[in-house]
Amino acid sequence: MSRVVCDVTVSLDGFVAGPEQSLEHPLGRGGEDLHRWQFAEGDEHRRERDAIVAARAFIMGRNMFGPVRGPWPDASWTGWWGDDPPYHGPVFVLTHHERPDLPRDGGTTFHFATSGITDALARARAAADGGDVAIAGGAATIAQFLEDDLVDELRLHVAPVLLGSGERLLDGVTEFRLVPVSARATPLVTHLVYGREAAGVAESLG
Amino acid sequence: MSRVVCDVTVSLDGFVAGPEQSLEHPLGRGGEDLHRWQFAEGDEHRRERDAIVAARAFIMGRNMFGPVRGPWPDASWTGWWGDDPPYHGPVFVLTHHERPDLPRDGGTTFHFATSGITDALARARAAADGGDVAIAGGAATIAQFLEDDLVDELRLHVAPVLLGSGERLLDGVTEFRLVPVSARATPLVTHLVYGREAAGVAESLG
């Protein structure tokens, strides 16, 4: 059975994006500081980066796909990522508004899922063919999957910065059902993994 | 030179206490879940517990010392901790209102520091005699020391629970100047240490 995984980078005060998000600054003021680890040179974060792209299907909220709201006026918006998006697989975009599949270069195809998250997840699982399904964001979509206990592994990348305001990751989630699995500190980010089964349980009984 | 250290347990959504704090429930609704790791049996958390009590002097906000507000009506409030508080050393309580020193059993003496945090820290450093000074809480006091860049090591114990609302740790802190030093996941809590110098810098250059 494929797992549902989720990678998300947050500030130490729990924001996935800073205030004043805009088309030009989708991460808001200070938001770029969160993701410095993803662009650092060297192999320090290779394992975490490899894990992010290892999923075989992806689900994202419509606001992550783009700024267009309401019914699609036309097919001109094709995502933030240019001709060759980094997903290289099927991406299910949660929306209330139908739109034909949108194939891009490099194996990425955007599918528009209009029947809710459960149906979108079923389609993504089928497409992943035993591989992992990744919840790609944004924060509201991740929160919805966490609240419905659909995430098997949350990989939280905590950047040592404060944003003070902006978009919080865990707003609206009432219960956290995952347990700590691993943690690793690096100069730019601390990688925390939460999953279904705790690491070190045997050790803690000693 | 003695270091200034700070241990604080927070929920995954960044709260040090839940909503509806009261005399009977000083940690608020759900707040007890934060501290389960401190009462767990076994040696899993021995290192972190030893570190908490290793400081030689302590500073706390008045609200952590007790619920009395304004001028001290009398000397009847002597803290939450009974006759033998767990500090076993000098504790400087930040307050605007003078009060004589309050010696307790086991080596704990409460001093009432009315000249601001810088002066309180100078007194605590002198009392620690080369040992660490611990900022014992509460959240507002910790935030004030962080904002003034007076904390050398922040030891954040992140419990895998959500409180949803309550008292946030990092409200009012505009810049975080510490860097990740270490991280360790356990079933009940993830121990994160932030300090002046990052761990693993050399490794990250490889």
Predicted confidence band at A206 (pLDDT cuts at 50, 70, 90)? very low
Helix (DSSP H) and strand (DSSP E) numbers for chain A: 5, 11
Name the closest residue on chain A to residue B11, using Cα atoms: A176
Residues 118-177, chain B: which have Cβ within 8 Å of A? 158, 160-162, 164, 168, 170, 173-176
What are the chain A neighbours of B167 within 8 Å (beta carbons)? none
pLDDT score for A23: 79
Q: How far is A170 from chain B (nearest CA, A)?
A: 6
**Beta strand pairing call for A4-11 and A153-159:** parallel
Token pair listed for A9? 């980078």
Q: What distance in Å separates the CA atoms of residue B183 and residue B156, rounded to the nearest whole number? A: 9
A6 inside 8 A of chain B by CB = no
Picking from A6, A12, A36, A41 by the largest number of B CB atoms within 10 A of its own CB, the best residue to mutate is A12
Q: What is the pLDDT of residues A185-199, one digit of tens each?
A: 999 999 999 999 876
Of the candidates B126, B115, B182, the one whose C-alpha atom is nearest the C-alpha of residue B155 is B182
Picking from B162, B170, B175 by the largest number of A CB atoms within 10 A of its own CB, the best residue to mutate is B162
Q: Does A204 contact B175 at a Cβ distance shorter than 8 Å? A: no
Share of chain A above pLDDT 90, in %: 79
User: Out of A181, A187, A201, whose CB is closest to B179?
Assistant: A187
User: Out of A160, A205, A206, whose CB is closest to B180?
Assistant: A160
Q: Does B164 contact A185 at a Cβ distance shorter than 8 Å? A: no
What are the chain B neighbours of A184 within 8 Å (beta carbons)? 183
Residues 60-99, chain A: which have Cβ within 8 Å of B? none
Q: What is the pLDDT of residues A159-181, one digit of tens each?
A: 999 999 999 999 989 999 999 99
Q: What is the pLDDT of residues A104-139, one digit of tens each?
A: 999 999 999 999 999 999 999 999 999 999 999 999
pLDDT score for A30: 86
Give exposure, A27-46, as e/b (b: 16+ Cβ within 10 Å): bbbbbebbeebeebeeebbe
Q: For chain B, which residues score pLDDT lower than 70?
A: 199-206
Token pair listed for B8? 């604080």
* The domain defined by A4-67+84-205 carries CATH number 3.40.30.10: no
Q: What does the domain layout of chain B look like in residue ranges?
A: 4-19+33-67+84-192
The CATH number that domain B4-19+33-67+84-192 falls under is 3.40.430.10
Name the closest residue on chain B to residue A154, using Cα atoms: B160
The yes-or-no verdict on residue A20 having pLDDT over 90 is no
Q: How far is A194 from chain B (nearest CA, A)?
A: 9
Predicted confidence band at A28 (pLDDT cuts at 50, 70, 90)? confident
pLDDT score for A96: 96
Q: Does B44 contact A203 at a Cβ distance shorter than 8 Å? A: yes
Q: How far is A117 from chain B (nearest CA, A)?
A: 23
Predicted confidence band at A203 (pLDDT cuts at 50, 70, 90)? very low
What are the chain B neighbours of A13 within 8 Å (beta carbons)? 14, 168, 170, 173
Mean pLDDT confidence for A64-79: 91
B52 inside 8 A of chain A by CB = no
Predicted confidence band at A202 (pLDDT cuts at 50, 70, 90)? very low
Q: Does A204 contact B187 at a Cβ distance shorter than 8 Å? A: yes
Q: What distance in Å separates the CA atoms of residue A57 and residue A156, rounded to the nearest whole number? A: 19
Burial of B50 (0-12, 13-18, 19+ CB in 10 A): exposed
